[in-house]
Structure 1
Amino acid sequence: MKILFIHQNFPGQYKHLAPLLAAQGHQCVALTLKVKKPTKWNGVQVVPYGLPKRSGQNLHPWLVDLDTKVTRGEACWRAARELKDKGFAPDLILAHPGWGESMFLHDVWPQARIGLYCELYHHAEYPHLNFDPEFDKSADTQAQALRIRMKNINNHLHFPAAHAGISPTLFQADTFPSEFRERITLSHDGINTATSCANPDVRLKIEGQVDVTRDDEVITFVNRNLEPYRGYHVFMRALPRLLKERPKAKVLIVGGDEVSYGARPPKGQTWKQIFIDEVKDRIAPEDWERVHFLGRIPYDTFTQLLQVSRVHIYLTYPFVLSWSLMEAMSCQAAIVAGRVAPVEEVITHGETGRLVDFFDGEALVTEVCDLLEDEAARTSLGAAARTLMRERYDLHSICLPRQVEWVKALSEIHVDDRGGVQ
């Protein structure tokens, strides 16, 4: 088969699936903004395209999101027409529609079967909206809800052209409306449990920052970016008491200074520094020396961080579940996490981790300290967490085979000349 992948940051969620399909003999091509020149990656022909320069224009604020997606959709459509003119006609198009790129591809190849990576459908009610009122600065919550609903126009423009969807968690799949939910297959992207595993002999050494082993009392916290959407503020506000309670603990924090989700900080500031400034006066200088902000680190170093962790803390709004949590579980870390629906898919309190109310920093510290005092509980929770990852989320034995089956089922859908299902 000829398979076209669409992802702004290819390979993204197709990191494992695309090379596997290429290795099976399928002709795999990817259109992406990520590269500047055509290249070959793990058997996939990667074709770049760019965005046109546009002059500024006045838009209603609720239309800005759609405008950026249409801009990307048009650019990808033009790149697709060039591929078609060169004789390329995909049997399947596998697309992450989140940035709008795949919006018009049905118009280029109406007979191609389209499978969407269904990351999220936006909801305008609690807990999807106003989960954390501290960072909702909208004076008119009803207007905010209308703006959020407008973000789904991109989804609805994709639904009529798509033949199937795939979603990594039940929480994410169930955000989609029933008319499309029935076409979504549940399959996680997969955790490589062979590499994300326990290592009693691990040593994490980052020159000038940290040098620790499993003999050290290490507490870890990981975000892509340090921001409220992933509970950074709750964690930081709990830090003064945590450092007092655990005078030998070293706290390792991973994450960048930017914003991935949610509200932006005041201009010229970062959430990271805002919450450092909020709590630092309540932390003794000698205790602050035990807190290490590592920024973004290479993946091998990240794995060592999880392997050396005695207790790993994970917090998030009700949103897309982080791979980092599941990789920590696969490394047999003892987890303390915020109790929200996506987390509860993998953490059962007292079995695969400990759960606390997202906003309850005191309960967070209490659970962390309790686990640090109880090696047997840490061992039991970590072992159960890894078992869950291996039995339900293992990349090679569970998730990739399920994704390949989904691709096969998609390829067997019969479509008419206009792309309709026969």
Structure 2
Amino acid sequence: MNILFIHQNFPGQFRHLAPALAAAGHRVDALAMHRRPPPAGVTQHAYGVRRPAGKDVHPLLREAEAKVLRGEACAAAMLHLARGGYRPDLVVTNPGWGEALFVKDVFPDAKLVSLLEFFHGAPGGDFGFDPEFGQPSLEARMKHRLKNLALVESLLAMDHGVAPTTWQASRLPAEYRHRVDVIFDGIDTDQVRPDPDAHFTHTQVPETLRAGDPVVTFVNRNLEPYRGYHVFMRALPEIQRRLPDARVLLVGGDGVSYGAAAPAGTTWKQRFLDEVAPRLDLARVHFLGQLAYAQYLKLLQVSAAHVYLTYPFVLSWSCLEAMSAGCHVIASRTAPVEDFVEDGVNGHLVDFFDAQALAAAVQSAVQDRDRHAGLRATARRTVVERCDLRRVCLPQWRALLSRLAGQPA
């Protein structure tokens, strides 16, 4: 088959699927805006937006125009491929940036598969979840509603969709859910596994840390409210009071992945650190920035208590990687975390805003490590059985794509 992936930051969520399909003998091409080396076996083509979104556009339509511009640029790149004789059997895309808007206009006979990460505005989601930042204004609500413009058009055009988790699928309009399969991106559980002999070293940490040490970990791409950084920092003085010998290691950048930026002149990281710094033993709190993947895995393997907090939003890979590594995960009782973490069975759940409950759960994980061995084993088994890359997720993707293309799996 000829399979075309479209993703501005390719490979993105397709980092495993695209090379696996190429290795199986299919021709795999990709359209991307940002240039980086493609996975093995994939031919990558660049597309470029002709101009930025106009400043004179209605403020509520600026994001929509940016998505139309991306869709237009992708259409031009696809037309160039078509004029060279290329015809895909399948086009697989994440439509959230508008790139899928005109796929069917260029390749009407191709089956269009959309990875549906998040439908904005459905009840019980991220918008307005955190009262600390105030109730959204009418203008903010209107702007938020229009985030779905490109996605709704993609729902109309797609032949089939994929949502990573059951909760993410449940947020879609009911009339489309029958055309959506739930398939997670996949965790390489052969690589991400417990290691009782693991050790972790870093220039910011004055000693080598080993599995069994009192290590508390918190990991996100960026340290920001959407992922509960402010709640974790407010729990930290109590965590240190309960566990004075523990080392606390935080991984994440100073920027923003989701939600609003911090007030001008500061970062969320510094803002909430400053709030609690006088009550912390900062000699035992270590901000590591962003880590190489192999070093990040070592950190998970030495963790005694791994904290994962999130608004009701897209689930981070790091949560499931921590479970696969055999971590004792203390997570927020928010969707989609509850799709995977069952309180007292394979992790512990606390109210997102309850810093005291979080501190108590971290203390129990560190001090009663042996008693929780079964819980950590069950956490890994959950991921192996439901999210294993090679045995579960890639076969599910292959079966779906083969069915859509009318070919044997």
Q: So what's the TM-score if we normalise by structure 2?
A: 0.96
Structure 2 CA distance for partners of 1:358 and 1:154, relative to 1, 3 Å: same
- 1:57 Cα deviation (Å)? 2.6
Deviates more, 1:125-134 or 1:181-190: 125-134
Match in the other structure for 1:257: 254
- 1:124 Cα deviation (Å)? 5.2
1:170 aligns with 2:163: no
- 1:128 Cα deviation (Å)? 3.4
State how far apart, in whole Å, the 1-side matches of 2:53 and 2:16 are. Answer: 39
2:382 to 382, 388, 410: 388
- 1:71 Cα deviation (Å)? 1.1
1:198-252 per-residue CA deviation (whole Å, 9 max, x = no partner) reads: 1111111113435211242100001111000000000001111111211110000
1:40-69 per-residue CA deviation (whole Å, 9 max, x = no partner) reads: 631010111222134743122221211111
State how far apart, in whole Å, the 1-side matches of 2:260 and 2:134 are. Answer: 7
2:406 to 390, 406, 412: 412
Match in the other structure for 1:43: 41
Match in the other structure for 1:75: 73
Match in the other structure for 1:365: 359
- 8 Å CA contact 1:124–1:148 kept in 2: the answer is no
Match in the other structure for 2:143: 147
Match in the other structure for 1:33: 33
Structure 2 CA distance for partners of 1:156 and 1:385, relative to 1, 3 Å: same
Letter in 1 for 2:233: M
- 1:27 Cα deviation (Å)? 0.8
Local SS of the residue matching 2:201: strand
Match in the other structure for 2:180: 184
Match in the other structure for 2:85: 87
Letter in 2 for 1:10: F
Match in the other structure for 1:106: 104
1:196 to 192, 197, 219: 192
Letter in 2 for 1:214: A
State how far apart, in whole Å, the 1-side matches of 2:52 and 2:156 are. Answer: 29
- 8 Å CA contact 1:31–1:49 kept in 2: the answer is yes
1:57 to 48, 52, 55: 55
Letter in 2 for 1:207: T
- 8 Å CA contact 1:257–1:270 kept in 2: the answer is yes
- 1:383 Cα deviation (Å)? 0.4
Structure 2 CA distance for partners of 1:25 and 1:257, relative to 1, 3 Å: same
State how far apart, in whole Å, the 2-side matches of 1:384 and 1:124 are. Answer: 32
1:6-51 per-residue CA deviation (whole Å, 9 max, x = no partner) reads: 0111111111111111111111100001217xx6631010111222
Local SS of the residue matching 1:295: coil
Match in the other structure for 2:8: 8
- 1:298 Cα deviation (Å)? 0.4
- 8 Å CA contact 2:53–2:66 kept in 1: the answer is no
- 8 Å CA contact 1:123–1:149 kept in 2: the answer is yes
Local SS of the residue matching 2:295: helix
1:245 aligns with 2:242: yes
Local SS of the residue matching 1:52: coil
- The 5 Å alignment of 1:199-214 reads 199-210=195-206, 211-214=208-211
- 8 Å CA contact 2:52–2:66 kept in 1: the answer is no
Give the count of matched residue pairs.
406
State how far apart, in whole Å, the 2-side matches of 1:412 and 1:55 are. Answer: 40
Local SS of the residue matching 1:151: helix
- 8 Å CA contact 2:204–2:288 kept in 1: the answer is no
State how far apart, in whole Å, the 2-side matches of 1:357 and 1:221 are. Answer: 17
Q: So what's the TM-score if we normalise by structure 1?
A: 0.93
1:272 to 269, 274, 277: 269
Local SS of the residue matching 1:41: coil
Local SS of the residue matching 1:182: helix
Letter in 2 for 1:331: A
**Structure 2: 5+ residue runs without aligned partners?**
none
State how far apart, in whole Å, the 2-side matches of 1:338 and 1:41 are. Answer: 34
Letter in 2 for 1:267: A
Match in the other structure for 1:356: 350
Q: Provide the alpha-carbon RMSD of the alignment.
A: 1.5
- 1:134 Cα deviation (Å)? 1.2
Match in the other structure for 2:322: 328
1:93-139 per-residue CA deviation (whole Å, 9 max, x = no partner) reads: 0011111112111111111110000111111544432110212464x
Letter in 1 for 2:389: L
Match in the other structure for 1:416: none
**Structure 1: 5+ residue runs without aligned partners?**
414-422
